[in-house]
Each structure stands twice: as C-alpha cells, then as structure tokens.
Amino acid sequence: MLLSEIYDYVAHHINDLELKGDQNCQITHLATIQHAKTGEIAFINNVKYRQFLETTEASVVILAPDLAEHYQGNALVTKNPYLAWAYVSHLFDTRQKHLVRTIHPSAVIDETATIGENVYIGANVVIEAGVQIGDDSVIKAGSVIEENVVLGKGCFLYPNVTICYGCILGDRVTLHSGVVIGAEGFGFAPGPTGYVKIAQVGRVILSDDVDIGANSCIDRGAIEDTVIGKGTKIDNHVQLGHNGIVGEHTVISGFTGIAGSATIGNRVVIGGGVGINGHIKLHDGVMVTGDTMVTHSLIEPGVYSSGMPVTDNRSWRKNVVQLQNIDKLYRRVKALEKKIDFEE
C-alpha cells in the first residue's frame, strides 16, 4: 500500500494530518518503533520511545509535530498519533475482509427469524424464533441467539457468544468470544426455608458501536433494562449486574465488577480490577484507577483511587502492622490531648 493511500484514508478522519517525505513509499505491515523494518509503519505516542527515532528502520513513522522536527524520514504528523495509528490499523486488518457472506448448512435458524442482506452465519449457530439480524452482520461458529433478539446493522459476534431472549443490540456492536448478554441477574429473596429466586424480566440494550471483550457478562434487568450507551468499550472478564446503566463512550477495563443498579456516566474511565457497589452513581468524566473499591457515589469529575501501591514485602508487612495499630494510636493521642487541655 502506498503512503499516499494511507494518508488519504487517515486524513479523512484527522484534519491536522500532514505527510512528510516520499508519498510513493510502499508499506506492507505494521510494527513497533523499536522493531520496525523496511516496508513497515510504526508510531510514537510516548516521549520515552523518542530514543528509537535514531535507530528505527521503519519506512514511515506516525508522530507528533514536536518529535517530527527531529526526524528526517517519511512521516505522518499529527497532534494525536495514537488516534492516527488506530485508523491505520484498520487498513492492515485482513482477518475478516475475505469472509464470504454465507449461511453454514449446520446453522439452525427458526423459520420466523428475519435475516438481513450480506449476513454471515457460521457453523452450529442457533437462531431462535422472532430474531432479527441486521444487514452486513457476522455471527461466527457456535453462537446462540435466543428468541426475539434484535441485532442492528454491521454487528460482529465472535465464536460462542450467547445473547439471551429479548435483548436489543444497535448497529456495529462487537461481542467477543464467551460473552453472555442477558443472563439472569443475581436476584434472590431470603425466606424462612432458603432463598427464593426473583424472576428477571428486564432486557439488555446495547447502543451503537458498543464493544464487549471476551468472557464478559451483562446481566438482564430485574424489572427495568440494563443499558450500555453509544460507543462504550468493555474489556475482557467484566461483570455488569442487573439494572446497571453505563453511559456513552465509557471505557471499562478487565476484571472489573459492577454490582446491580449502579449508574456509570458518560466518558468515564475505569481501570482493571475495580469493584463498584450497587445503587451508586459515577459522574460524567470520572476516572477510577485499577484495583479501587468504590463504595459510594462519585459526584465530581476527577481521578479516584484506593488500595496500597506495590512495595517490597518487608516494608509492606511493617506498614500493615502499623495500620492495624491506627485505632490504638488514635485513642492514645486523644487521651493525651485531653490531658494537655486539662493541665492548661
């Protein structure tokens, strides 16, 4: 692919993109800046990789204007190299381009289901009664779509995805392998002889351009729907409990657990391994760092953390001992303060 072709595609999305060098340069692969060879394109988004500009063999580098001043090779220059790299990556992702849009003979499709145009349905897929599949969608092997589910246009389901009854997906939704959409929420009422199951009669609604990583589970609502807003991206192994609401363009990293009826705002960023209590709210623009335990609503934008950063084991053990003595130390200080006040 010519550098000029790459430029034309990316410039359609990024207004400040500038091409420096030989526009007829041929590019065949993507690569990291430190390992790139001739014919490959790389990028720099972090100044700590600046040193590799002097040694890289990349035919083209995507970089910011301040770094471009120190680089004499072919370059795509923009204030947002990472975003430019995202668009470039689309041009070299050939995994699905040669997928023939057919329906595999082993697929089981109910006669009342509606299948759009240019749809791919893989081996051993099950599509139940009343399902609607939008145009240009891909459903790969082993996926199960239960009754009355609606998929919009251009959805992509990787192998072994399950979408439970009545759930609704917008356009261009991507679900990776092992995802379960609309499993019953964790609802049980304690009774005199044990727990009584509460029927979960809500749905899951995924808006346009939602992406959900492998083995994540989005529970259906108990009464009202569980809803994920437009453009939100969810990593692998994430659990969203029943009645949860997630806003638009929010990012949730792996191994995060969100209890039922929590509300997550727009453009929230949640790190890995975060726990979020139920029935609380995270305001628009909140950022939560990894391994944080969120026990109350966060009503102001900002960065929030909890937990203890890593240190050597010896220091950590000493700190834990001191933490266990904080209450004793507090009571001792209060007693001393009272004694000083009395003597004065």
Tokens standing for residue 82? 């990472």
Per the residue annotation, which of 29, 237, 242, 279 is the catalytic one?
Answer: 242
- Is residue 242 part of the annotated active site? The answer reads yes
DSSP result, 114-143: EE-SS-EE-TT-EE-TT-EE-TT-EE-TT-
Helices 81-91 and 3-11: angle between axes, nearest 10 degrees: 120
Q: What is the SS3 assignment for 324?
A: helix
* Structure letter (DSSP) for residue 198: P
Q: What are the respective helix, strand and coil percentages of the chain, to the nearest 5? A: 20, 25, 55
How do beta strands 194-197 and 188-191 pair? antiparallel
- Cα separation, 76 vs 22, in Å, equals 11
Alpha-helical (H) ranges within the chain are 3-11, 65-68, 81-91, 313-324, 326-343
The strand ranges marked E within 204-264 are 204-206, 211-212, 217-219, 226-228, 233-234, 239-240, 245-246, 251-252, 257-258, 263-264
Phi-psi region of 69 (alpha: psi -120 to 50; beta: other; left: phi over 0): alpha
Residue 340 CB coordination number (10 Å):
9
CB 148 within 8 A of CB 162: no
The residues that are catalytic are 242
